[in-house]
Amino acid sequence: MLAYRHAFHAGNHADVLKHVVLALVLRHMNAKNKGWRYVDSHAGAGGYSLHSAYANKRAEHADGIGRLWGRADLPPAVADYVELVRGFNPGGTLDQYPGSPAIAHALRRPQDELHLHELHPTDHKILASWLADERGVQVSMDDGFAAIARELPPPTRRGVLLIDPPYELRADYAKVLAGLRDALARFADGVVIVWLPQLQLLEAARLPQRLKAAAAPAKKGWLLARLSVARGDARGFGLLGSSVFVANPPHTLAPLLRELLPWLAAELSQCERPQWALETGGG
């Protein structure tokens, strides 16, 4: 059942989009002193060697973080994200890629909490061995979808939930929707970030519309950012790109992404016609 291993994909174009957005959201949360809770329903291992057999099977990172690493001409938000990745590579060469818990860990302050859920025993063990003993951090080996109800709202009523499942099981699409609905029913002004794959699959094609409808209770509306940069296989299957849906986005996020997405589409493109899109609504 748990066949998915993020180590195959760590640092690819989809991780770049997701982690740039996550860093922008958490930087914005840090503008206020009051502590926040970060809930990662599908946390992964927290960090990935880019020299492992997994990472080098298709070397997806080469066309993701690999294209940005070592450049001096990055837009500020991308430069900030690359700097966070640099913090994970003290030797100065790109050896490791930080997962979403590591991005959040780099940006947390003493008053902030990380609640991380990961079901795969190996990835949970790696994550727990790194972070479980740290104050303010909880690492649980459980179903992240089921955990959403327990986690929200946080006591400070400032929180960010990342829902980033593998989507290998078709049931994940319905669970993501239910997770967003559940989160907003409990915490209508919480920030919820959902990562979505762009695939030739009905469930994937329908998910954006369904998320927009499910985000109706979000007090500050929603945002959908899409980056289509990959070619897929000879039949047009495979990951063509990805989107990030954000309920209750910081007001600064849409203007920043309007500038960043065309730049990222051009720089991360593996196809003839890279595309990007940004939609906002609700609120």
Residue 41 in tokens = 């329903």
Q: How far is the CB of 9 from ligand SAM (least distance, A)?
A: 7
Binding marks (x or -) toward ligand SAM, 91..110, rule CB under 6 A?
--------xx----------
37, 42, 158, 212: which one binds ligand SAM (CB under 6 A): 42
Task: Rule CB under 6 A: say whether 143 interacts with ligand SAM.
Answer: yes
In the complex with ligand SAM, which residue's Cβ is closer, 138 or 280? 138
11, 35, 64, 144: which one binds ligand SAM (CB under 6 A): 144
* Count of helices and strands (H, E) across the chain: 10, 10
112, 118, 151, 182: which one binds ligand SAM (CB under 6 A): 118
User: How many angstroms separate the CA atoms of 239 and 235, rounded?
Assistant: 12
Binding marks (x or -) toward ligand SAM, 60..79, rule CB under 6 A?
--------------------
In the complex with ligand SAM, which residue's Cβ is closer, 114 or 221? 114
Query: E-strand spans in 141-274?
Result: 159-163, 191-198, 222-228, 241-247
Peptide bond into 274 cis (omega under 30): no
Q: How far is the CB of 14 from ligand SAM (least distance, A)?
A: 9
Cα dihedral angle (171, 146, 4, 54), rounded to 10 degrees? Answer: 160
Residues 6+ apart with CB under 8 A from 234: none
- Pairing state between β 137-140 and 191-198: unpaired
Annotated active-site residue in 164, 172, 182, 233: 164
User: How many angstroms separate the CA atoms of 120 and 193, rounded?
Assistant: 21
Reported as type and span, the H/E element at residue 82 is helix 76-87
Q: How far is the CB of 208 from ligand SAM (least distance, A)?
A: 18
In the complex with ligand SAM, which residue's Cβ is closer, 144 or 208? 144
Chain residue whose CB lies nearest ligand SAM: 99
Task: Rule CB under 6 A: say whether 181 interacts with ligand SAM.
Answer: no
Stretch that binds ligand SAM, among 61-69, 85-93, 161-169, 244-252 (CB under 6 A): 161-169
Task: Rule CB under 6 A: say whether 43 interacts with ligand SAM.
Answer: yes
Task: Rule CB under 6 A: say whether 119 interacts with ligand SAM.
Answer: yes
Task: Tell me which long-range contacts 89-93 makes (C-beta under 8 A, separation of at least 24).
Answer: none
Cα dihedral angle (106, 246, 180, 32), rounded to 10 degrees? Answer: 50
Active site residue 164: yes
Q: How far is the CB of 40 from ligand SAM (least distance, A)?
A: 6
Task: Rule CB under 6 A: say whether 13 interacts with ligand SAM.
Answer: no
Query: In terms of Cα–Cα distance, which of 136, 106, 178 is closest to 37?
Result: 136
Place of tokens 């947390």: 108
By CB under 6 A, the count of residues binding ligand SAM is 21
User: How many angstroms separate the CA atoms of 197 and 201, rounded?
Assistant: 10
Binding site for ligand SAM (CB under 6 A): 2, 4, 6, 18, 40, 42-44, 99-100, 117-120, 123, 143-145, 164-166
Q: Which residues are catalytic?
A: 164
